[in-house]
Amino acid sequence: MDDAVRARRAARDALADIEPERLGEAIRDRLSDASMAPSVLTLVSARALDAAVDPDTVAERAAGVQLIYEGLRLTRTLTHTEPWLGDDEAARRADLDILAADVLVSRGFYLLARTETAERAVEVVRAFGRDQTRRRDPEADARALDRNLEADVFALAVAAGTTAAGVTPGAELLEYAAGLASELDGDLPPPDTALPDAVADRVLALADGDAAPPADP
């Protein structure tokens, strides 16, 4: 199964019980249009280090990363466009969107809560809040602050994948992951555009120094 298809299916499965139906439909529609680059990066990172890693375990982690990103990305859009200042219909859609964003982030947290990346996921959300607050300063570099979200999520994705394979990523690997996002402009493109062909090789190479040395006999 294609990584993007597997990631999208895992994200949808994680949200299958969301009610009411209108909210669930809004979330499913958003996932249908979303780039699966963060979750695919999780899958690729895990498989680069351990080809036999349990695909279901990694898919769940990938879904957690993707849902957190989608929730924060939607929040960012709402913050910038302020749709509540428009007509009543726009305000009603915005009310549904902000609820969807909360559900996406909370369900993403739930999927990562028992993993080694739980604290990192929390820090991604905290950093997002700080950046959006700083963005209100007229002298702030709004574009750079906005793009921090993608960089932080790509680092989270690599961490979620490598730890599934038993490797805690070091600073160099996390910086590489963040750098992948910094090269993109605007909304994330599809995974085959967002992620270079050599990403698995680079993850493996940079993770070699992060693996624990063998125990003395």
Assess if residue 159 is contained within a domain.
Answer: yes
For the domain that residue 201 is a member of, what is the CATH number? 1.10.600.10
Note down the domain range covering 74: 3-207
Query: How far, in Å, CA of 177 to CA of 180, rounded?
Result: 5
Q: What is the pLDDT of residue 1?
A: 57
Q: What is the pLDDT of residue 94?
A: 82
Q: What is the pLDDT of residue 213?
A: 45
Assess if residue 215 is contained within a domain.
Answer: no
Assess if residue 102 is contained within a domain.
Answer: yes
Assess if residue 217 is contained within a domain.
Answer: no
Assess if residue 213 is contained within a domain.
Answer: no
What are the DSSP calls for 128-196, one per residue? HHHHHHHTTSTTS-HHHHHHHHHHHHHHHHHHHHHHHTT----HHHHHHHHHHHHT--SS---HHHHS-
Overall number of domains in the chain = 1
Weakly modelled stretches of the chain, pLDDT under 70: 1, 86, 186, 209-217
For CA atoms 126, 132, 138, 141, the dihedral sign is positive
Q: What is the pLDDT of residue 217?
A: 41
Assess if residue 216 is contained within a domain.
Answer: no
Q: What is the pLDDT of residue 214?
A: 42
Assess if residue 104 is contained within a domain.
Answer: yes
